[in-house]
Structure 1
Amino acid sequence: MAVLPAQMSNSGGRWHLYVPLLNVPVSLWPAHEWPPAAPVPTLAERERVLDALGYSIPAQDEWSWTEDSDIPGNPATRVRLIATVTVRPVAGGTR
């Protein structure tokens, strides 16, 4: 089964979870958006969303976090947190 990355980031006070697909327009990527100002989604909430999108996290995999910024190399710019985990399509899933 294919292994893909799933990512979650916060932009403008809203958490987004998405599965980037090669050769597919961003507007067609499987994605979910939480309401503005929602707290960081729990592991269980993320797993429910991924399941609804047709993906599962292999048992041994864990989320990892990375920092990025609006202006690379500028320590005064706003920090963006990006979480990444490996996912697999669920047999019979929507994707």
Structure 2
Amino acid sequence: MGAGSWIIVVVLISLLAMAAVAAFVGWTSAKDTDVPASGYVAMAIGVIFSLAVGVGLMALVFYSDRKGYDEPPMLIPPADTIEVSGVSDGPVKPQQTQELS
């Protein structure tokens, strides 16, 4: 690994350590605090809602991939147009012929 990769690893590990310290300090500073039942209900509803959104979005990702909705867009011209080098000239009009007398 190069120097840049090591810097990224060190930064990420230090961020993880800081998050762990913040969680520990927050957890231990609230020793004598009681959470009411409504707090637990609100937390449970939030967790269930977050999981439902995550599962729903992942289901849409898999559905979209399997149905081909993730393919790159392609221009499909209407049947009544002529395409010349990628530029459509519009509707095809019948050519008028003149009779020579």
Q: TM-score surpassing 0.5?
A: no
TM-score (norm 1): 0.20
Whichever structure has more strand as a proportion of its residues is 1
Whichever structure has more helix as a proportion of its residues is 2
**Higher-RCO chain (CA-CA 8 Å, sequence separation at least 6):** 1
TM-score (norm 2): 0.19
